[in-house]
Amino acid sequence: MKINPIRGTHDLFGKEIEKFNRIILEVRDTAGKFGFSELNTPIFESSELFKKPLGEQSDVVLKEMYTFSDRNENEITLRPEYTTPMIRAAIYNGLLNKLPAKFFGTGPMFRRERPQKGRYRQFHQINFENFGSDDFFADIEIICLANTLLKKLIPHSNFKLHINSLGSRKNLKDYKKILAKFFNDNKKFLSKESIDKINTNPLRILDSKNIEDKEIVQKSPKIIELISKKDIQNYEEIKKCIVELGIPIFEDSNLVRGLDYYCHTVFEFKTSELGSQDTLIGGGRYDGLIKTLGGKDLPGVGWAGGIERIVLLMKDNIQKESHIHLAILNPGFRTHAIKVYDFLIQNNFSVYWNYKYNLKKSLSLASEKKANYLIIIGENEKINNNFSIKNLSTGEQVSLNIDDILDYLQ
């Protein structure tokens, strides 16, 4: 009986998992340089953790969460996003006593969305969160971190920072009322999907992908008209500093993000190379969210990045630190071969053998895998107690004792 994977999931192997692992390594390296500590949480949480913070009328809560009851009738949800679980963990474990508290995490998230390129129902995410600082330098730092990571992983890609300010929570509350009235007065120009959101979540209409909505959205009121002078000054300083860092920006007055907890600065790093699923990293400020989840009244800022989308933009030729293949020409030479195999592993080289006692097949595979060297173990090598090493870039072949191999390879 053949059992297929569940729709919206996929298996990781080959070049894709190599890219995944490279991303995680770069994430940890970049996190260390920016002073962020790792914090990982369970993949399921109490459903209450997500309902209010994400917005009880949001698509995530109403349509997309994987929710079930356990044997004790507790309502459990597979995490659809990572910020609220990280806050829950920081509060529960007493990690907010020394501020700012800066954390990152990676792992799978779950949403019952329509599967499409770069977005699955189980998808993998990177999160960076800064808890406890209301200084706008924290906004700049978190954006700079995202830009640094993307430049490392996809230096050839043409991505751009989209940015907006949503002002305070009061500004947002007033803005929703203004938007609802505007869209209600112009609903004949909206798609049915957007009409359904007028009274529940009018902000979501602003980032509608439906062509029917584009024209009226462009004419809609802008939140900048409601924001205080102080918040506008901070926003202008943030943009100025980002430009000073050499990060190109696009001011997007319709950018609101998909979750209800955002306020003030919001941003997305977008690319034109992935069609409609164009956001690589998105985030912003969420002042007040920590208090909503039972913690102190602390500010926060952070972002989430989709690993699958970044993988789609990465080049295939991931360079490994070492790339050595063995060619054992006869089963009787395995005892001699194991000496060099163990020696190379102990000296941090990556060694591969295809279990084929055939020089031609070993050469072919080494070439396919872009190996740097092929070590040949045949009758002469066994008799002379040495190893033949072929440089696959230059074609040079030498015979060396095991003690001399390290100097040659380095």
Q: What is the dihedral of CA 376, 382, 385, 390, to 10 degrees?
A: -10
Domain boundary among the residues 313, 346, 369 is at 313
Per-residue pLDDT of 307-366, as tens digits, reads: 999 999 998 754 444 579 898 998 888 888 888 888 887 787 888 887 878 888 888 888
Cα–Cα dist 336/328, whole Å? 9
Q: What is the pLDDT of residue 258?
A: 67
Clarify whether residues 56 and 103 are in a common domain. Answer: yes
Residue 384 lies in a domain: yes
pTM: 0.81
Per-residue pLDDT of 50-93, as tens digits, reads: 998 887 777 788 889 999 999 999 999 999 999 999 999 999 99
Task: List the beta bridge partners of residue 300.
Answer: 131
The number of beta carbons lying within 10 Å of the beta carbon of residue 353 is 17
Higher pLDDT, 204 or 105: 105
Domain with residue 122: its CATH number is 3.30.930.10
Clarify whether residues 304 and 402 are in a common domain. Answer: no
Per-residue pLDDT of 247-273, as tens digits, reads: 989 998 888 776 778 999 999 999 988
Domain boundary among the residues 261, 279, 313 is at 313
Average confidence score pLDDT of the chain: 90
Task: List the beta bridge partners of residue 75.
Answer: 69
Classify the phi-psi angles of 35: left when phi > 0, otherwise alpha if psi is within -120 to 50, otherwise beta: left
Q: Beta strand 387-391 with 373-377: parallel, antiparallel or unpaired?
A: antiparallel
Clarify whether residues 337 and 308 are in a common domain. Answer: no
The parent domain of residue 74 ranges over 14-168+227-313
> Per the omega criterion (within 30 degrees of 0), is the bond before 100 cis?
yes
Cα–Cα dist 155/315, whole Å? 10
